[in-house]
């Protein structure tokens, strides 16, 4: 490692430490005016009353502040629940906004400085580590030492990284009130983009986008000389930055609903929720366009593009989850399970999630058109179960937190309902396949090892069979790491695409059907 890389790594770690420490600094003080400002009108009277014991008390840590807040708030709700006065229970979660508003700390005074020494320092450190990688080395794939690496082969560093990521997601989804200082830190940036204060989602989107950009540059280095990898990585970087991060914020600036034009139902599972539909319908021509565009993607975009190019057009070129997996997750791609058993589990799980998403959405739509006569508010229960179990726990905590344990595509492989939909089209009606080059395979196993989706590519390659699998996201790495030029991702006629009884070329004595 060059000195500049060591220095970069040190800066990255310092940035990460500061980022992890920021949530714990400063004091918290609540007053009645703050509460009046933050809560909905219907809760104003009650909330100002409930929280009275906290007023003007100075808390020196977010733990004690949040503990008191939750005690008072939960005690009130619990009473009502005991009395079965469900309509009086406050279902809104005010913990995050109240904690954020009550904070008194230097981050508010100098948000850019804190942003600089945490996130920006991490980015700079990361780039200093990445930029010199493979410099002056000939073009070619560099997988040297991966299985000796503590980080990349489930060693201590990998376990630590996975644990950190899991913790981060747990706090982000279920305990965001503990990360308010980090959100305060990016308030000015959010205000500059959308005119609004930042939420934890803005912070997350920002970190997510930066991770894809920085680790995308690493991809350019690692796969130097492979045009497919380079262009594909450029594509996911673009779609994340422009479509997932900047454009939605700009929409908000113009009083439009936050909308990611490249996100597609059922990955975007809330697309048909009442509030989303109403948000779009009430936002004029552009809102109507969002609605129509979203539906067109589902019914025409997905089948048509997948017919021509396979699901890769989305999964490894456009999608945000795919984008993170292909950049931040690339060092972990070899950790996916290739066993036949894992494939069986995969098929039950991913199609199970698809069925769940479809049924839930169908009920939601029917209920909506029946003016809630069918199920009343029961669909909301369904939404929160899905949101908790699939949207947050599966996609986030497991999806990303498990990178260092089970590879970078755990969500995409086992959980994503859109991937399941794309996969069904890819398997049964598509021009995409990975062609096996006659008899050239030497069964070395590089392709299977580096398949992030856990496809045993070699199984097909060594018998001269094309690879047509619903899960293949077309990342192209099997082809890139093949030492004998055996694999090629391509779109071609449907005839001969699925060759169940392949014949290995080169043997004129007999035709061996594998």
Q: 172: closest CA among 148, 203, 126?
A: 203
Q: In angstroms, what is the minimal distance from the CB of 338 to other proteins?
A: 8
**Cα→Cα distances 455→80, 209, 413, 448, 502, Å:** 53, 28, 10, 6, 18
Question: Closest approach of Cβ 452 to other proteins, in Å?
Answer: 14
- Piece in contact with other proteins (CB under 8 A), picked from 67-75, 173-181, 348-356, 445-453: 445-453
- Residues near 311 by Cβ (< 8 Å), separated by ≥ 6? 419, 422, 423, 425, 426, 432, 472, 473, 474
Contacts to other proteins from residues 319-358, by CB under 8 A = 339-340
β 487-491/103-104 pair status: unpaired
Q: Which is nearer to other proteins, 493 or 500 (CB)?
A: 493
To other proteins, the closest distance from the beta carbon of 345 in angstroms equals: 15
Q: Which is nearer to other proteins, 184 or 302 (CB)?
A: 302
The residue from 17, 70, 438, 498 that contacts other proteins (CB under 8 A) is 438
Nearer Cβ to other proteins (278/494): 494
At residue 60, the 3 state secondary structure works out as coil
Cα separation, 93 vs 386, in Å, equals 18
Q: Token digits for 359?
A: 């049924």
* 374, 366 Cβ separation under 8 angstroms: yes
DSSP 147: G
Q: Tell me, residue by residue from 213 to 242, as one string, x for binding to other proteins by CB under 8 A and - for no binding.
A: -------------xxx--x-----------
What is the nearest approach in angstroms of other proteins to the Cβ of residue 490? Answer: 6
Three-class SS string for 77-140? HHHHHHCCCHHHCCCCCCHHHHHHHHEECHHHHCHHHHHHHHHHHHHHHHHHHHCCCCCCCCCC
Rounded CA separation 34/44 (Å): 11
Residue 466 CB, shortest distance to other proteins, in Å, is 12
* 436 strand-pairing partners: 487
Q: Tell me which of 29, 77, 196, 437 binds other proteins, using CB under 8 A.
A: 437
HSE-CB for 8 with a 13 A CA cutoff = 17
Length of the chain: 514
Q: Is residue 138 within the footprint of other proteins (CB under 8 A)?
A: yes
Q: Which is nearer to other proteins, 97 or 426 (CB)?
A: 426
Residue from 82, 86, 145, 500 touching other proteins (CB under 8 A): that is: 145
Give the shortest CB-157-to-other proteins separation in angstroms.
15
CB of 435 to other proteins, least distance (A): 8
449, 465, 471, 499: which one binds other proteins (CB under 8 A):
449
CA distance 243 to 396: 20
Applying CB under 8 A, does 309 fall inside the site for other proteins? yes
Q: Tell the smallest beta-carbon distance from residue 505 to other proteins (Å).
A: 5
Query: Which residues in 61-120 contact other proteins (CB under 8 A)?
Result: none
- At a CB cut-off of 8 Å and minimum separation 6, what does 148 contact? none
Out of 7, 147, 348, 369, name the contact with other proteins by CB under 8 A: 147
Query: How many C-beta neighbours within 10 Å does residue 6 have?
Result: 12
- Contacts with other proteins, 472-511, as mask; x by CB under 8 A: ----x--xxx-xxx--xxxxxx----------xxxxxxx-
Query: How many residues interact with other proteins (rule CB under 8 A)?
Result: 55
369 interacts with other proteins by CB under 8 A: no
- Residue from 400, 446, 470, 471 touching other proteins (CB under 8 A): that is 446
Residue 386 Cβ, how far from other proteins at the closest point, in Å? 35
Q: Which is nearer to other proteins, 110 or 484 (CB)?
A: 484
Which burial class, exposed, middle or buried, applies to 397 when counting CB atoms under 10 A from its CB (0-12, 13-18, 19+)? buried
Can you tell me which of 108, 235, 380, 440 binds other proteins, judged by CB under 8 A? 440
Binding to other proteins, residues 454-473 (CB under 8 A): 458-459, 462
**What single DSSP character describes residue 301?**
I
Select 172 or 453, whichever has its Cβ closest to other proteins: 453
Judged by CB under 8 A, the stretch of 22-30, 120-128, 142-150, 240-248 that binds other proteins is 142-150
DSSP structure string for 203-240: HHHHHHHHHHHHHHHHHHHHTTT-HHHHHHHHHHHHII
Which residue is it, tokens 């205000």?
A: 191
Q: Does 304 bind other proteins (CB under 8 A)?
A: no
Cβ atoms 81, 90 nearer than 8 A = no
Where helices occur in 370-476 by DSSP H, the ranges are 378-386, 399-401, 403-406, 410-414, 417-428, 446-449, 457-461
Q: Measured from the CB atom, is 352 or 439 closer to other proteins? A: 439
Residues of this chain that interact with other proteins (CB under 8 A) are 138-140, 143-149, 226-228, 231, 308-309, 339-340, 431, 435, 437-440, 442-446, 448-449, 458-459, 462, 476, 479-481, 483-485, 488-493, 504-510, 512
């Amino acid at each position: 490692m060059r000195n500049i890389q060591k220095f970069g790594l040190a800066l990255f770690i310092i940035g990460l430490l500061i980022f992890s420490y920021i949530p714990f600094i400063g004091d918290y003080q609540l007053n009645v005016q703050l509460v009046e400002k933050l809560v909905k009108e219907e809760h104003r009277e009650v909330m100002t009353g409930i929280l009275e014991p906290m007023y003007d008390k100075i808390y020196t840590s977010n733990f004690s502040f949040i503990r008191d807040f939750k005690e008072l708030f939960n005690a009130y709700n619990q009473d009502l629940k005991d009395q079965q006065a469900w309509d009086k229970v406050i279902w809104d979660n005010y913990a995050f906004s109240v904690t954020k508003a009550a904070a008194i700390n230097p981050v508010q005074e100098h948000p850019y400085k804190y942003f600089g020494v945490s996130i920006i320092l991490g980015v700079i450190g990361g780039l200093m580590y990445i930029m010199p990688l493979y410099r002056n080395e000939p073009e070619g794939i560099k997988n040297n030492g991966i299985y000796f690496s503590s980080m990349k082969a489930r060693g201590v560093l990998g376990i630590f990284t996975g644990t950190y990521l899991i913790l981060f997601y747990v706090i982000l989804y279920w305990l965001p009130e503990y990360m308010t200082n980090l959100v305060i830190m990016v308030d000015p940036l959010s205000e500059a983009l959308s005119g609004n204060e930042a939420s934890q989602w803005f912070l997350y989107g920002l970190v997510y986008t930066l991770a894809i950009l920085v680790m995308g540059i690493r991809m350019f280095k690692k796969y130097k000389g492979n045009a497919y990898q380079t262009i594909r990585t450029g594509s996911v970087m673009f779609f994340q930055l422009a479509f997932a991060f900047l454009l939605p914020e700009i929409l908000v600036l113009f009083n439009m609903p936050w909308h990611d034009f490249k996100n597609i139902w059922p990955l975007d599972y809330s697309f048909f929720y009442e509030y989303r539909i109403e948000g779009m319908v009430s936002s004029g021509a552009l809102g109507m366009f969002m609605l129509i565009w979203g539906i067109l993607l589902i019914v025409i975009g997905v089948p048509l593009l997948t017919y021509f190019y396979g699901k890769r057009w989305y999964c490894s070129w456009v999608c945000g989850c795919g984008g993170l997996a292909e950049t931040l997750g690339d060092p972990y791609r070899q950790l996916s399970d290739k066993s036949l058993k894992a494939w069986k589990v995969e098929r039950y799980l991913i199609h199970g999630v698809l069925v769940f998403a479809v049924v839930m959405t169908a009920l939601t739509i029917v209920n909506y058109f029946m003016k809630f006569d069918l199920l009343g508010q029961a669909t909301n229960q369904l939404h929160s179960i899905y949101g908790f179990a699939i949207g947050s726990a599966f996609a986030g905590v497991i999806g990303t937190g498990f990178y260092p344990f089970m590879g970078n595509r755990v969500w995409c492989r086992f959980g994503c309902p859109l991937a399941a939909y794309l996969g069904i089209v890819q398997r049964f009606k598509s021009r995409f396949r990975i062609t096996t080059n006659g008899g050239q395979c030497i069964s070395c196993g590089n392709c299977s090892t580096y398949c992030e989706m856990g496809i045993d590519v070699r199984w097909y390659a060594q018998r001269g069979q094309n690879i047509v699998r619903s899960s293949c996201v077309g990342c192209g790495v099997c082809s890139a790491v093949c030492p004998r030029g055996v694999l090629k991702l391509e779109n071609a006629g449907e005839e001969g695409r699925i060759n169940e009884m392949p014949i290995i070329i080169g043997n004129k004595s007999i035709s061996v059907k594998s």
